[in-house]
Structure 1
Amino acid sequence: MATTSSPHEKAASLPPLTPGPHRMRLGLISVVACFGGLLFGYDTGVINGALRPMSEELGLTPFTEGVVTSSLVFAAAIGALSGGRLSDAWGRRKTILLLAVLFFIGTAIVVFTPSYEILVVGRICLGLAVGGASAVVPVFLAELAPYEIRGSIAGRNEVAIVIGQLSAFVINAIIGNVFSESPSVWRVMFAVSALPAVALFIGMLRMPESPRWLVEKGRHQEALEVLKSVRSEDRAIAELGEVEHVTEEERAAQQIGLRAILSNKHLVRIMLVGIGLGVAQQLTGINSIMYYGQIVLIESGFSANAALVANIAPGVIAVVGGFIALYLMDRLDRRKTFMIGLTLTTICHLLIGFSSMVMEEGNPLRPYVILALVVAFVGSMQTFLNVAVWVYLSEVFPLHMRGFGIGVSIFMLWVANGFLSLYFPSLVAAVGITGTFFLFAAVGVLALLFVATQVPETRGRTLEALEEDVSTGAIYTVKAKASR
């Protein structure tokens, strides 16, 4: 009687990765696609230094400041959900091209805005682009990458995000201090992001479509040509056969569409895992530092201009941590990475809370101690959590629901981000740095429990092997055996 090889056996029998022009081609594709992450980072980070001069010129109140900041974040939630669905129907590459256009249009509206209302429209446009990029770019990279190095390839997008944020902090500090007398200095800060938007659009015109998406749409020959451009020929043929096999099984079992997802308890469970990870990542408070770092540092004792410069330090450590994370992604299990990261960030939260409580305002050491702890928090977050979460979300969902799954997960991630960015200034005003970071620590403990009990492992396996185990629930059995 004939037997069908499992995805695990097929992964083991795949020809090994080999050096050559195809590896350079894969590297080029990842660099171009990561301009989406760069724009994501710059457009979320630039508000950190632009908000004060923007408020002065446009006469914003504390409430409208919160609206301007959070409008991008809430729009990003919609962008993630719609971008994921659009990429499933229209293609990853075409969707990224559309996002590049949205980035450029949103930037133009913000730069030339005459009023607060038009400014919010521009921020919403940018938010749709940011959210779409957060959902589509990681999937595009994960579907192009060989499983052996999928973590480091897909993780490059998160490194691009923090490079974008660091670029925003540095540019803000330079422009803000050199042209501090100009009321429109914030417009120049925003205008810089038009350049990578143009680079993303032009670059993606020459990039291929995801081979896995092409197979799902029945375009097998095109998929093979794409795989041959980023693999050796024998590896490309073998991978195509594996993807075709899993796609045919899905269709035979009618595992396509929203109804198929909701009728499978294992798919619903993995959706809840994705949502939980995204929300947990945001409730560490990482983007409170990225958006309101200047406010936190002023609250700790720095002057406004000194805080603008000191704010570069968390941006630098985020980039350093991102490169360390890329090194670790294909060497350390995802679950272990999450556990280490949440433990370290929770410790940092407690230390920030205790320091701000013990060291009274006016103590000359207070701002520097809190800055050092904030840097440690951001470094821990970036090294062990941020990159790992984005990679995990890009790989854990089956092909037929990948765009939808990551879209819903990142939608909830952005919603949590939005509420935190909207209310963070009020939270600091109400309970101070001490209470705010103690609250983050409590959430960190809950997140640790969630990861320990609910999150299965994904490292070192093909997307097709993961797909079968997620759909049948076997992925949780594997986790249970591994933990014994």
Structure 2
Amino acid sequence: MRVEAAKNSFLTKIILISTLGGLLFGYDTGVINGALPFMSGKDQLNLTSFTGGLVASSLLFGAALGAVFGGRLSDYNGRRKNIMLLSVVFFASTIGCALAPNVVVMIISRFLLGLAVGGASVTVPSYLAEVAPADRRGGIVTMNELMIVSGQLFAFVINAILGTAFGDTSHVWRYMLAIAALPALFLFIGMFRVPESPRWLVSKKRNDEALTVLAKISSKEKATEELAQIQATVNQEQEVKKAGFKDLATPWVRRIMFLGIGIAVVQQITGVNSIMYYGTQILKDAGFTTNAALIGNIANGVISVLATFVGIWLLGKVGRRPMLITGLTGTTAALLLIAIFSSTMHGSTALPYVVLALTVTFLAFQQGAISPVTWLMLSEIFPLRLRGLGMGLTVFFLWIVNFVIGLLFPVLLGSLGLSTTFYVFVILGVLAIMFVKIFLPETKGLSLEQLEQNFRNHGKNTGGLQESYSPKAASTD
């Protein structure tokens, strides 16, 4: 029992330390929500709608590049060393943001911070998946998603505390940003106390070191068995010729890429990050004071965390398509109601509370249905030889769409107003539902090999998409 407890304790330490990268991801994307109103003043950075959008979205453009190169760097340096490098970038760029004397320095620092966020978005889940025992992998990897939304909630709480207690302090936004330096420091120190990924060690022919790591996490028998499985997988991947851009000439490969990019775009055009980045501004435009908006925005963070638990549970119970369609219907309906009430109840004292209730409802559908399905389907649809190219391109598109929305949302809000801006997102939501209904197949209950075969056979002597993915062909999870 003591040995088992020690192994569990060691694994828990690995999870808690490495997922600080997810916490930083969440905090740094969420903290701008409350910091922007304070840094926008004439005696601060004097932001316009456009420069405010640049400050928020420059992180997202950096994240797009960080996600593309982060995976390659972790393949070269190792997951552990790469996370340590990312923690240094997190720390330095956080200090740069907190001390920024002008908009230019702020945008550059936020861009560098984005490189760390993007790198963490691909490296931390890979590290967790490769360290976790096979029978616990799913639950452990989802801990990173939980830490991301927890980081956003943490940012909203810190924003509310500092904004209400020290709102009269001219540079309160600098303290909001600077707090992220602490978990970055803890992540750097903590990574000295955790091992390298056993899978990466095997890929570098360091099998004895890999076995030592595995033996610290599970029994010697399981460790030996898992090492053999890792060796077999690594050998298989080395024999597989990786796909390149020339493979996009193949129709079924193009279709998978189209679906992957479509899934990534669908997740972003719901407008979720307009609420996560500008929730305080939305509530202010609805009628709340700055302090009330900061406090009310905490509800958005709380529901995101709770809905993530629900989403993880639902994945094993419900098909991917109905779950995604239900989520999109819910988010689009919530946005439509925000648009309608913002115009019909303009000036009403009840409007800010109605808008807050609807943003909470929106996030319940987004985090409980859309976001979990997005990442699961992206991990399912790409065959082994396409996975590197496919995930790289889709995650890049996801971050780029995120960047565009983050940049344009405050501009739309300033020029069109709250109601019309949300009508734009309602139209995008309807297009997203149509994409899922027309193009997206069901993947639940099918092995990765069955999925690849179905994609290859699509349109060949079948009745089309629905027959190719008929429920009869799928077993239950």
Q: TM-score, normalised by structure 2?
A: 0.86
Task: Give me the whole-angstrom Cα distance separating, in 1, the residues matched to 2:134 and 2:436.
Answer: 23
Q: What does residue range 232-311 of structure 1 map to in structure 2 within 5 Å?
A: 232-252=219-239, 254-256=240-242, 258=244, 269-311=255-297
Residue from 336, 341, 365 that aligns with 1:350: 336
Residue among 205, 212, 218 paired with 2:192: 205
Tell me the alpha carbon deviations over residues 217-251 of structure 1, each in whole angstroms, 9 at most, x when there is no partner.
33333333333333444444334333433433343
Q: Distance in 1 between matches of 2:61 and 2:335?
A: 26
2:208 maps to 1:217: no
Residue 271 of structure 1: how far off its partner (Å): 4.0
Q: Which residue of 2 aligns with 1:364?
A: 349
Distance 2:110 2:10 in 1: 34
Does the 8 Å CA contact 1:317/1:378 hold for their aligned counterparts? yes
1:41 to 26, 29, 41: 26
1:436 paired residue number: 421
Please state if 1:381 is matched with 2:366.
yes
**CA positional deviation for 1:303:** 2.2
Letter in 2 for 1:343: T
- How far is the alpha carbon of 1:267 from its aligned partner? 5.4
Equivalent residue number for residue 86 of structure 1: 73
Relative to structure 1, is the Cα distance of residues 223 and 277 closer, same or farther in structure 2, using a 3 angstrom cutoff? farther
Deviates more, 1:302-311 or 1:167-176: 302-311
Q: Give the conservation status (yes or no) of the 8 Å contact 1:396–1:458.
A: no
1:60 aligns with 2:47: yes
Q: Is the 8 A contact 2:50 2:408 kept in 1?
A: no
C-alpha contact (below 8 Å) 1:85/1:407 kept by paired residues: no
**Structure-2 change in CA distance of 1:207 and 1:273 (3 Å):** farther
Matched with 1:10 is: none
Q: Which deviations, in whole Å up to 9, do the C-alpha atoms of 1:33-69 show, x marking residues without a partner?
A: 2111110111111111111221221222332212211
**Contact in 2 for aligned 1:151/1:330 (Cα 8 Å):** no
CA-CA distance at 1:470 after TM superposition: 6.0
Distance 1:480 1:163 in 2: 36
- Could you tell me the percent identity over the aligned residues? 46
Q: In 2, distance between residues paired with 1:268 and 1:24?
A: 45
Q: Which amino acid aligns with 1:38?
A: L
Distance 2:440 2:316 in 1: 22
Q: Which of 399, 419, 422 is matched with 2:404 structurally?
A: 419
What is the CA distance between 1:83 and its match in structure 2? Answer: 0.7
Indicate how the Cα distance of structure 1 residues 476 and 440 shifts in structure 2: closer, same or farther if over 3 A, else same: farther
Unpaired segments of 5 or more residues in structure 1? 1-18
Q: Does 1:193 align with 2:196?
A: no
- Secondary structure of 1:183 counterpart: coil
Letter in 1 for 2:102: S
**CA-to-partner distance for each residue in 1:401-451, whole Å, 9 max, x for gaps?**
656543332221111011101111222234433333333233333333444
- Work out the CA distance in 2 between the residues paired with 1:145 and 1:272: 32
**Counterpart-to-counterpart distance in 2, 1:177 and 1:83:** 38
- Counterpart in the other structure of 1:312: 298
Q: 3-state DSSP class of the match of 2:62?
A: helix
1:480 paired to 2:469: yes
Corresponding letter in the other structure for 2:163? G
Contact kept, 8 Å, 1:329 with 1:388, in 2: the verdict is yes
CA distance in 2 between counterparts of 1:211 and 1:388 reads 28
Q: CA deviation at 1:23?
A: 4.4
- Taking a change above 3 Å as real, the CA distance of residues 256 and 89 of structure 1, as seen in their structure-2 partners, is farther
Q: Helix, strand or coil for the counterpart of 2:196?
A: coil
Question: Structure 1 residues 481 and 423 mapped into 2: Cα distance closer, same or farther (>3 Å)?
Answer: same
Aligned pairs for 1:310-349 within 5 A: 310-349=296-335
Q: Quick one: structure 1 residues 237 and 404, their matched pair in 2 at CA, closer, same or farther if it must change by over 3 Å?
A: farther
Partner of 2:463: none
Deviates more, 1:404-413 or 1:98-107: 404-413
Give matches, 1:48-197, under 5 Å: 48-56=33-41, 57-146=44-133, 148-197=135-184
Equivalence for 1:11 = none
Q: CA deviation at 1:457?
A: 2.3
Give me the whole-angstrom Cα distance separating, in 2, the residues matched to 1:399 and 1:90.
Answer: 22
Write the distance in 2 (CA, Å) between the matches of 1:214 and 1:339.
41
Provide the rounded CA distance (Å) in 2 between the counterparts of 1:100 and 1:42: 14
Aligned in 2, Cα 1:315/1:391: closer, same or farther, shift over 3 Å?
same
What secondary structure does 2:167 align onto? coil
Given that 2:243 and 2:389 are in contact with CA atoms closer than 8 Å, whether structure 1 keeps it comes out as no
* 1:192-240 alpha-carbon deviations (Å, 9 max, x no partner): 0011101111222222333333333333333333333334444443343
Give the deviation of 1:185 after TM superposition.
Answer: 0.9
The equivalent residue for 2:461 is: none
CA distance in 2, matches of 1:353, 1:97: 44
Instruction: Tell me which residue corresponds to 1:447.
Output: 432
Report SS of the residue matched to 2:347. coil
Q: Does the 8 A contact of 1:135 with 1:406 survive in 2?
A: no
Letter in 1 for 2:469: A
Q: Structure 1 152/371 Cα, relative in aligned 2: closer, same or farther at 3 Å? A: same
Supply the AA of the counterpart residue of 1:365: A
Q: Which amino acid aligns with 1:417?
A: N
Q: Do the aligned partners of 2:30 and 2:276 also contact (CA within 8 Å) in 1?
A: yes
Change in Cα spacing, 1:232 to 1:333, as seen in structure 2 (3 Å) is: farther
Asked if structure 2 preserves the Cα contact closer than 8 Å seen for 1:51 and 1:65, the reply is yes
**CA–CA distance in structure 2, aligned partners of residues 309 and 374 of structure 1:** 14
CA deviation vs aligned residue, 1:344-378 (integer Å, no higher than 9, x gap): 22222222233334x32122222211210110111
Q: Which whole-Å CA distance do the structure 1 matches of 2:10 and 2:106 have between them?
A: 39
**For residue 293 of structure 2, what is the amino acid of its counterpart?**
A
CA RMSD after TM alignment: 3.0
Q: Which amino acid letter does the alignment assign opposite residue 224 of structure 2?
A: I
Deviations 1:363-405 (A, max 9, x none): 2222211210110111211112223433444565566665654
Q: What is the deviation of 1:331? A: 4.6
